[in-house]
Amino acid sequence: MAAQARALVAARWLADAVKSNRVGPNLRILDASWYLPKLKRNPRAEFEKTHIPGASFFDIDECCDKSSKFDHMLPTKGEFADYVGDLGIGNNTHVVVYDASDFGSFAAPRVWWMFRVFGHNSVSVLDGGFKNWLKEGHAVTEQYSKPERAELKVSLDKSWVKTYEDVLNNIKTNAFQVVDARANGRFRGVEPEPRENIEPGHIPGSINMPFPSFLDSTSGLERPVEELKKLFQQAGVDMQKPFWVTCGSGVTACHIALAAHLCGHPGVCLYDGAWAEWFIKAAPEHVISEGKGKQP
């Protein structure tokens, strides 16, 4: 299996790899763009129009548990291995993930986390994403050549994936901190959720750290480690204690996991069903909101 890779790689490093034809069985690039429906952006169509040379498209709505009624829930080991193997990724492949979000990064940390939960640690997020790649003037293309299929052997670390029942039990025990990456208005319950029939609010006792706070608003680059540590401190997250992360549907929560990893706190656990599941299943008293909340 490929060795642990640094969590972030710079656009210049990847551009040099592209220019020197290093993209292949030992280095694969994935465009993991995904957007909330309200943005009316088609990530696959955008990929087909322009992307980093040598990249393949990773669809979190395809590589998922399609039997679940919740969006892009984690797939099985076999489903994940089959999907990424079809993208030319084997056990010795260094994977670099990016997306084309205006934030600089949106869904890429989710795919980074997925590879790691399935035991493939040679995975990095492109710092600043496609936004910074374009800003630095690196090459783009519309051409796509499907990689030759590879075989990836994976193992799932189930301890990293938390369920509704786990989080419900934690309300009683308060054994773990729960950190939510959604916008503050959604967390407080005063701004609407993007999904129908889901009201905003938060899990009792959870802490809010909106994911854009980890990124430089101009460049989209990840903030320096010392700034990240200060953000956790200001939010009231004790980095010496374990914590779980959540958001709307398990995507932007992985920004918190990435930031924690950069701060030397690897292995942050994800509540995969996230708020979309919590609101549906939770009792009204477990939906904390300044707004409508959940009616009995």
3-state secondary structure 44-82: HHHHHHCECCCEEECCCCCCCCCCCCCCCCCCCHHHHHH
Beta strands in 32-187 (DSSP E): 55-57, 94-98, 123-126, 161-162, 177-180
CB 259 within 8 A of CB 181: no
Instruction: Name the catalytic one among 247, 254, 263, 269.
Output: 247
Residue 123 pairs with which residues in a beta bridge? 95
As a whole number of angstroms, the distance between CA 243 and CA 237 comes to 8
Active site residue 247: yes
Cα–Cα distances in Å, from 72 out to 32, 37, 127, 232?
A: 13, 14, 24, 27
Catalytic residues: 247
